[in-house]
Chain A
Amino acid sequence: MATTLDYIVAALKEISSVTGILYIIGGTIAGIVLGAIPGLGSSTLLVILLPIAYKIDTNLVLALFISVVIGGMSGGCIGSILLGIPGTSSSLCTVWDGYALTQKGDPVRPLSAAVTANFLGNVPGIIIAIFACRAIGTWAVKLGPWEYAALCFCAILMVVGLSKDNLAKGMLGVGLAFFLASIGEDPITAHGRFLFFDRLEFLDGIDLISLMLGLFAAKIVLLEYAKATKTEQPDIKVGGFKWPGEDLRKNKWVVVRSWFMGLIIGFLPGLGGPVAAGLAYSSEKMLAKDKSNWGKGEIAGVLATETANNAAIGGALIPFLALGIPGDAANVQFIAALNVKGINVGPMFMREQTLIVYIIFIAALISGIVAMLYETLGMKTFPALLKIPYHYLYSTIVILTLTGAYMSTGSFFGMIIMLICCILGILMDVFGIPNLPFLMAFILSPLLELNIRRGLNYSRRGLAEFFLRPISCVFIVVGLLVLIWGMVSPVVKKALKKNKTESTANTGC
């Protein structure tokens, strides 16, 4: 049996061609650029790259995609520190201290700290993921349809329960996704379901790529144009990278704690970088002896945020590659890219596609190094990234979105689905329905339905089988507990706050 080292060597061989390295370098830099631009983020680039996946070698596509993710996460801090506008939601907390330092006339210090923290968060996280995936993947092959259905169920409930969005609206999105995902051929009987206007195009279901192009790329450009947020950026001058040795030495435990938090939060389905960064920032602020400088230019705030959001990438890769459960939105796009290539993600993925898994890991490690090199050597170019003419960039995104929607289905049906999903995405934003639970449920629905029905078909005890098998029962109970906690926690917090206010008032008396 091949060892982890054998697979690492094989993966290195696969992507160490000139083309492979160029894909990784290009993907990382493109990710940094898109990640730096507020409002866009690397996910937009991933979505518009999806249709091209048809034409590129599988290994190269995956190397390109992971490089874009790594680059995007690294680049997110640039907009936060230089403009005070987060490039990605994962770098929101970087704004508070990073931008404050820029306003004090020292953008190099937070940028250097952020760039180093990106690397320190990212690379060790990926290395942990390499070993954790192997262990979990060996266990995952023992899962039956009951356990796998329960796992999908648990993942969806966790995304809804742990997000800070309105719970009812999150579940509403899940319900809608269940319906939309059931359009097309039934997975067991092969009968057509909801073939509107008797169109046979619906037999293949709602195309995932067209859905994502509409829900993200087309919607984002439309809203950015409508809200007219993009104006000319101010002139900012940035010097070269300065090794943040003193800042790291003083805050070494901040980095270590934030890294652990990022890895663990990343592992939980659907949370990813934004939650990891937020929690790391708030917990470090809570632990700090002197809180007076937090939010006014505390370098520990930048280090905590950027370490945690990058560590979350490695954490999110573990459930995705070992179990087929997307850890964050980027993993959903990975699943779409793999589907394009005819590869199904699931508990057997690690065993059946081991080389592909290791290619993703190795590409991620190389990309982490490329991002660090580019950001240290090219720090002076950061202001230029923020001055990319939006009118050229956005018009290109729209053209690539439209073309991609056509390419994904090979017909105008894909374009129409994309337009409908663009409207759906806007309506979801208008009514405050979160995108991630919807998308997660849409991706996991086919697996959930297939495994529930297989489970019922194979078992003699019907639905009870899901609760009588220990692993399956644990997943269901955990999912339900998280959902209940999501419902109860605001009430508990409110009551605690009320008690605290009352006791303070009494003491004051």
Chain B
Amino acid sequence: MIKNKKDFGLGVVSILIAAGITYASFQLRGSTYVGDPGPRMFPLFGAALMFICGVALIIKPEKEQKVFMTPKQWKSGLLMFGVYVLATLLFYLVGFAVTLPIIFFILTYLMSRLSLKDLTKKQRTIRSLVFAILAGAGVYVVYVILLDAVLPKGLLFTLR
């Protein structure tokens, strides 16, 4: 019976990745310099380490298997990652200036569910909206006006 499925899985995945790196490394062109082992050496070294550690984890996994997060927590984590992806897409499509208040609002609203439990939905929405506009403007001023940073203009608009 497998004692620690997590470590066993990690061991198997490590071996597979190591095999993939080894294959990809042998596709690389060698070096013509005398004594130089070439560009393959280092990734192969990494692959060898991953292979050995993968085998070690399969043979001798850790005794304890801790639960990292509950299914509910994973769901919340996924939601937050969804916001990151949405922000990236919005940066690409509508640019920095439009994305800022939208993402600020979504994030503040989501997170205030934990820290502002006593407020009603409407109150939280208003607070999040006000913060999104003010903070969005603040970040815009710092990055665009003060730092003169190169930021995404957006595919649909040419706003900065």
The residues of A with any CB-CB pair to B shorter than 8 Å are 52, 54-55, 166, 168-169, 171-172, 174-179, 181-182, 186, 188-189, 191, 193-194, 218, 221-223, 225-228, 230-232, 389-392, 394-396, 398-400, 402-403, 406-407, 410, 412, 415-416, 419, 422-423, 426, 429-433, 445, 448-449, 452-453, 456-459, 462
Contact = CB atoms under 8 A, between A and B. Distances in A.
Interface size class of B (residues with CB under 8 A): 35 or more
B31 A412 contact: no
Nearest to A166: B62
B139 A169 contact: no
18 contacts: A166-B62, A175-B14, A175-B53, A176-B50, A178-B42, A188-B31, A222-B77, A222-B84, A225-B114, A226-B73, A391-B112, A392-B108, A394-B107, A406-B152, A412-B91, A419-B88, A431-B10, A453-B37
A54 B150 CA distance: 11
B50 A403 contact: no
Interface string B92-111: 10001000100110011011
B125 to A, nearest CB: 12
User: Taking each of B34, B49, B85, B131, which has the highest tally of chain A beta carbons within 10 Å of its own beta carbon?
Assistant: B49
A459 B128 CA distance: 64
A457 B6 CA distance: 42
A459 B33 CA distance: 12
Contacts of B37: 453, 456
B115 A221 contact: no
A433 B13 CA distance: 14
Interface in B25-66: 28-29, 31-39, 41-43, 45-50, 52-54, 56-57, 60, 62, 66
Contacts of A230: 111, 114-115
A38 to B, nearest CB: 14
Contacts of B7: 431
Contacts of A456: 35-37
Given A226-B76, A394-B107, A182 B91 contact: no
Contact of B111 (A225, A426, A448, A449): A225
Pairs of residues from A and B, 10 with the lowest C-beta to C-beta distance, nearest first: A178-B46, A175-B49, A395-B107, A226-B77, A391-B111, A175-B50, A172-B53, A179-B46, A186-B39, A391-B112
A227 B69 contact: yes
B46 A176 contact: yes
B116 interface: yes
Q: Secondary structure of the B side of the interface?
A: helix
Contacts of A172: 10, 14, 49-50, 53-54, 57
Contacts, number: 207
Given A182-B42, A399-B100, 20 more contacts: A168-B57, A171-B49, A171-B53, A177-B46, A178-B49, A179-B21, A182-B46, A188-B36, A226-B69, A231-B117, A391-B128, A395-B103, A395-B131, A395-B135, A399-B87, A399-B103, A402-B88, A402-B91, A402-B103, A412-B91
Nearest to B21: A179
Interface of B: 6-7, 10, 14, 17-18, 21, 24, 28-29, 31-39, 41-43, 45-50, 52-54, 56-57, 60, 62, 66, 68-69, 73-74, 76-77, 80-81, 83-85, 87-88, 91-92, 96, 100, 103-104, 107-108, 110-112, 114-117, 128, 131, 135, 139, 143, 147-152
B69 A390 contact: no
A191 B50 contact: no
B81 A422 contact: yes
A399 B66 CA distance: 32
Contacts of A390: 111, 114-115
Contact of A457 (B36, B77, B117): B36
B80 A221 contact: yes
B67 to A, nearest CB: 10
Contact of A55 (B69, B85, B135, B149): B149
A232 B115 contact: yes
Given A55-B148, A228-B114, A400-B139, A415 B57 contact: no
B108 A415 contact: no
Given A390-B111, A390-B114, A396 B135 contact: yes
